Structure 1
Amino acid sequence: MPDSTRAPWRSPREIPAGPDVLAAGPPPVPASAPPFAMRVARPGGADLETLHTWMNRPHVERFFERAWTRERWAEEIAGQVSGTFSRPVLVSEDGRDAAYIELYRAARDVVGEAYRSEPHDVGLHIAIGEEQDTGRRLGARIFAAVTQAVFAADPRCRTVLIEPDAANAPARRAAERAGLRFGGEVALPHKKAALFFADRPEGDHGRE
C-alpha cells in the first residue's frame, strides 16, 4: 500500500500553473465510451496486478518506460487518484480489461508549453495490454471513443490531444485512423513527441 509518510505525489511532467488553469480541476473520467467502459484504477488488488503485468511487457515498456515494481505502481495510482493533475483509468471492452489510459490536464503538463493550450484541454496516454490487440485497431477505436466521451463529460474542453514518442509508429497510425489532426513534432524534456489533436466539433458548445 502507498506510504503515507512520503511527500504528496506530483507528476514529473507537471509544471507550475496559474489560478485559471488550476480552477479547471481534474480531468473528467466518463463512465463509458461505447463500446468501451472506463473506471479509475485502484492501487491494489486485481487492478494493480493488471497494470504491473502490462507495464513489464516489452511492447508496452518500450515507449511507456514504467516497468516498475508493484509497490511503485501502487504509489503512482494512489497519487494520481488523490491529486487533480491526472487520472489513471482502465478501459474494458466486453467486460475484459484491454488498455490503460491516463487522462491529464494538458495545460499543467510540459506539453502545454508546446502549443497554445487552454485550461480545460485534456491529454491522453495509452498502453494496450495485449500486443495482439494492436492488430485490431484497438488504439484508434479507443482514441475516437474516449475523445467524444471527454467532450461530453467536460463542456468546457475544446481540445483532446495525444503526444506519443515520434518513433512510436503504431500510436501514430492509431491517431491517424481515429481522425486526429497532426500538429507536428516537438521536443519535450523527456522525448521528441508527435502531437495529434481532436477538436470539439463546430457548433457543439457542450452543456454549460
Structure 2
Amino acid sequence: MSARPASDGEAGPPPVPRLPEPWSVRVASGDADVELVHRWMIQPHVEKYWQQAWTPRQWRDEFDRQLAGAHSLPCLVAHDGVDIAYIEVYRVARDGLADYVPHEPHDLGVHIAIGDRDRTGRGLGRALLAALADGLLAAEPECDRVVAEPDRENTASVIAFRVAGFVQGREVALPDKTAVVMTYERRGPR
C-alpha cells in the first residue's frame, strides 16, 4: 500500500512494539538486516504473498524510505534470540488502507512475514500475532485498534490472525490483492 502524507497532525511515527520474552524486536537497518530480509523475501512461501523479491539494494532503499517517514516502521522479531520474522508497523490513517476501513489517527496496522519455512505451521506465528497486537497497544496508549490485511488466498495467515484474537471482517479489493480485513481491538482500559 502506498504512503500518505502525515496530515492527521496527531499521531507520531509508528512505535516499536513492546514484546514480552521470549520475543524481542528491533528496528531493521544495516547490511545484516538487509541481507536477511532479502533472503526471506525470495522464499516461495513469502514471495507469493508479499511480491517483494527485491535486491538487497532495493531493500536498503526501502528501509531508508520507511525510517525517514512517519508512515511505517520496518522491524525484525526474534524468538529466543533467533530472528524469525520481518514486520512493518504502519499508521492506518497514512496508508492506502485508510480508504477501505474505518480508522482513528492512532490506529496501527501490521504486515508480517515469517522468513524460514520450517518455522511456519507450528503455532509460532499465532503466538507472535497475539504478542504483537498486545505489544503495539502497550507501545501506543492512544491506539485502540490494530489492523491487518492478509491476502484472502493466504488461508493459513487468516486463520492465524483469528486464533490470535483478531476479528475477521470484510474483504476489500486492494491494488495488489483481495485482502481480508482483520482487527484487534483494545480490551479494557488504556
Residue in 1 aligned with 2:4?
Answer: 15
**Of 149, 152, 163, the match for 1:163:** 149
1:16 positional shift: 4.7
Answer yes or no: is the 8 Å Cα contact 1:34–1:145 preserved in 2. no
Answer yes or no: is the 8 Å Cα contact 2:108–2:143 preserved in 1. yes
1:85 positional shift: 0.7
Equivalent AA in structure 1 for residue 149 of structure 2: E
Matched, 1:99 2:85: yes
Q: Which has the larger radius of gyration?
A: 1
Residue in 2 aligned with 1:24?
Answer: 11
Residue-by-residue CA offset, 1:18-37 (whole Å, 9 max, x unaligned): 3xx24301111035333310
Equivalent AA in structure 1 for residue 137 of structure 2: F
Q: What percent of counterpart residues are identical?
A: 45
**Of 53, 59, 66, the match for 1:73:** 59
Answer yes or no: is the 8 Å Cα contact 1:56–1:67 preserved in 2. yes
**Of 89, 105, 117, the match for 1:119:** 105
- Aligned residue for 2:120, secondary structure, equals helix
Say what the alpha-carbon RMSD is for the aligned residues.
Answer: 1.3
**Of 18, 24, 31, the match for 1:37:** 24
More displaced stretch, 133-142 vs 90-99: 133-142
**Of 39, 51, 76, the match for 1:53:** 39
In the alignment, the residues of structure 2 paired with residue 122 and residue 72 of structure 1 have an alpha-carbon distance, to the nearest angstrom, of 25
Answer yes or no: is the 8 Å Cα contact 2:172–2:180 preserved in 1. yes
Residue in 2 aligned with 1:8?
Answer: none
1:193 positional shift: 0.5
In the alignment, the residues of structure 1 paired with residue 168 and residue 185 of structure 2 have an alpha-carbon distance, to the nearest angstrom, of 11
- Aligned residue for 1:173, secondary structure, equals helix
Answer yes or no: is the 8 Å Cα contact 1:31–1:39 preserved in 2. no
- In the superposition, the TM-score normalised over structure 1's length comes to 0.87
**Of 141, 147, 151, the match for 2:137:** 151
In the alignment, the residues of structure 1 paired with residue 63 and residue 151 of structure 2 have an alpha-carbon distance, to the nearest angstrom, of 22
Structure 2 unaligned regions, length at least 5: none
1:118 positional shift: 0.5
1:114 positional shift: 1.0
Equivalent AA in structure 2 for residue 30 of structure 1: P
1:81 positional shift: 1.1
Runs of 4+ residues over 4 Å off in structure 1:
none
